[in-house]
Amino acid sequence: MTPVLQTEGLTKRYGQRPALSDVTLDIPAGRIVGLVGPNGAGKSTLLNLASGLLTPSAGTIRVLGARPAGDAAQLARVGFVAQDTPVYAGLTVADHLRLGERLNPRWDGALARRRIEQVGLDPAQKAGRLSGGQRAQLALTVAAAKRPELLIFDEPVAALDPLARRAFLQNLMEFVAELEVSVVLSSHLLSDLERVCDHLVVLASSRVQVDGEVEDLLKTHYRLVGARGDLDELPAGVELVHAEHTERQSTLVVRADGPLPGAVKHADHLDLEDMILAYLTRDALGAHR
């Protein structure tokens, strides 16, 4: 199956400053991919490159096996909702659907109308008067009714209250199951990502820190506790992500594809949130050293 997103040495600079450095990814189709990282990590830059709004400074990017936004057919295959879910404030909800129908060859009007009704949007309401959550629902509906093969969302739930966020993500998961669409979404909300994503990419300081299927990542990451000094040497196949020490004890977060060190007193798997935080802490400490 063609990968949904494939990059090699992908780099984007604004002037001299890298926003994305040497990013190599190969993400299979049929996933909900979470893209996570601190402010300024390069998430929007990557998503804008994937949707063809930006062009790379170096390296390559293929989306569904083709150049992003290379032609009208490729544009129709990808639905992109930029940060802050832009809508046309002066147009009504129904106008958005009419516009979508006119602009998109594969427009699914029945799906759009059903979704609008399901989420309780008034077709006559001007989009500029919708709440943040309603706007997000409208943007999701328009993007999904294009019947794309890939949906890209830049922080779709950032402006939503917890209930609206949950409803939006629930909706998104239903969509994915119904439409067999792949999704790439960025978010700062790690617990949300844990609930909906099956593939994760952690970006920090313009570089990929870790990337993989969530299930594999959870299986291979551990928090190890041992006597201070006993865990200084790690065997081959065990990569240190983050370490904290007290006078007597060391606590490490590691990625282990092989056996754990013999001197470990205690080993636990981490949840996704703690694993991501370990990578982000490593990057933050490295950056300020």
Ligand X SMILES: Nc1ncnc2c1ncn2[C@@H]1O[C@H](COP(=O)(O)OP(=O)(O)OP(=O)(O)O)[C@@H](O)[C@H]1O
Residue 39 binding ligand X, by CB under 6 A: yes
Selected binder of ligand X within 5, 25, 36, 41 (CB under 6 A)? 41
- Residues 136, 81: Cα–Cα separation, whole Å: 9
- Residues 262, 235: Cα–Cα separation, whole Å: 9
Q: How far is the CB of 168 from ligand X (least distance, A)?
A: 18
- Residues 64, 3: Cα–Cα separation, whole Å: 6
Selected binder of ligand X within 6, 34, 36, 43 (CB under 6 A)? 43
- Residues 72, 94: Cα–Cα separation, whole Å: 24
- Considering the complex, state which of residue 42 and residue 226 has its C-beta at the smaller distance from ligand X: 42
Length of the chain equals: 289
Residue 21 binding ligand X, by CB under 6 A: no
Selected binder of ligand X within 44, 51, 141, 209 (CB under 6 A)? 44
E strand map for 107-218: 150-154, 182-186, 199-204, 207-213
- Residues 169, 270: Cα–Cα separation, whole Å: 23
- Considering the complex, state which of residue 28 and residue 59 has its C-beta at the smaller distance from ligand X: 59
Instruction: Tell me if residue 78 falls in helix, strand or coil.
Output: strand
Residue 42 binding ligand X, by CB under 6 A: yes
- Considering the complex, state which of residue 37 and residue 261 has its C-beta at the smaller distance from ligand X: 37
Selected binder of ligand X within 5, 19, 136, 278 (CB under 6 A)? 19
Give the binding range for ligand X (CB under 6 A) out of 42-50, 71-79, 90-98, 223-231: 42-50
Q: Which of residues 236-265 bind ligand X (CB under 6 A)?
A: none
- How big is the chain by its Cα radius of gyration, in Å? 21
162-179 vs 132-145: helix axis angle to the nearest 10? 10
Give the binding range for ligand X (CB under 6 A) out of 39-47, 134-142, 189-197, 229-237: 39-47
Selected binder of ligand X within 14, 26, 170, 286 (CB under 6 A)? 14
Structure tokens at 89: 């404030």
- Residues 146, 142: Cα–Cα separation, whole Å: 7
Give the binding range for ligand X (CB under 6 A) out of 32-40, 68-76, 102-110, 272-280: 32-40
Q: Which of residues 45-84 bind ligand X (CB under 6 A)?
A: 45
Q: Which of 278, 180, 265 is nearest to 226 (CA)?
A: 265
Q: Which of 84, 99, 95, 180 is nearest to 133 (CA)?
A: 84
Residue 16 binding ligand X, by CB under 6 A: no
Residue 209 binding ligand X, by CB under 6 A: no
- Considering the complex, state which of residue 41 and residue 181 has its C-beta at the smaller distance from ligand X: 41
Binding stretches for ligand X (CB under 6 A)? 14, 19, 37, 39-45
